[in-house]
Chains A and B, each alone.
Chain A
């Protein structure tokens, strides 16, 4: 069974700060997903990665397969980035299917 650990659980920062959220997992995975959940409850997929690094706007996600670790970075943070960020590990089961195992989430607040 895969365990997914995220840190920190809560993070409050000032606008403009560089943000890092970490995620580690216990067994080999097929991919690592980063999700964003706003107070209204909706979940948005930010990244899916299986190696290396991906960038989208001010968001960067990296993964180190050997160390079973991924990070999500936010550059020039803004109050609209305030949300819960969730990492989730995808493991292939029989026939290639992959339900996600989720971390508990990081509650990020960016103050103006």
Chain B
């Protein structure tokens, strides 16, 4: 158990819908990263937050957004969902802004029908 929690574990929804994925980092960790793992693209970095502020952006679509709240939990919002958004979404946390080991949550499996 990494200490990082993610909810929900599974999510099934329809095209065009909007969903919110939630992540709680390990106690004491200030950075949260979001990653997407799909069969065709593999693992991709989406976005990083550190202590409430966005610090790095990867291959995140404009339909996706994220935020980190004062209690350090983070949410990833996915809107206008398409079939290709079906994937495993992981969050990871680390203690600092960079150069630290990252601890991964169990993931949320999103299926868009």
Residues of B within 8 A of A (CB-CB), count: 30
Stretch at the interface among B42-50, B65-73, B75-83: B42-50
Residues of A within 8 A of B (CB-CB), count: 27
Cβ–Cβ contact B102 & A100, under 8 A: yes
| Count, A-B residue pairs, CB within 8 A | 76
Cβ–Cβ contact A99 & B33, under 8 A: yes
Q: When A88-B43, A102-B42 are in contact, do A45 and B101 touch as well, CB less than 8 Å?
A: yes
Closest residue of chain A to B56 (Cβ to Cβ) is: A97
Chain A residues positioned under 8 Å from B55 (CB to CB): 93-97
CB of B58 closer than 8 Å to a CB of A? yes
Chain B residues positioned under 8 Å from A97 (CB to CB): 31, 48, 50, 55-56, 97-98
CB of A86 closer than 8 Å to a CB of B? yes
Cβ–Cβ contact B100 & A48, under 8 A: yes
- By DSSP majority rule, is chain B's interface helix, strand, loop, or mixed? strand
Cβ–Cβ contact B98 & A92, under 8 A: yes
CB of A72 closer than 8 Å to a CB of B? no
Chain A residues positioned under 8 Å from B106 (CB to CB): 41-42
Complex: A13 Cα to B55 Cα, angstroms: 42
CB of A101 closer than 8 Å to a CB of B? yes
Interface residues of A (CB under 8 A from B): 30-31, 33, 35, 41-45, 48, 50, 86, 88, 90, 92-102, 104-105
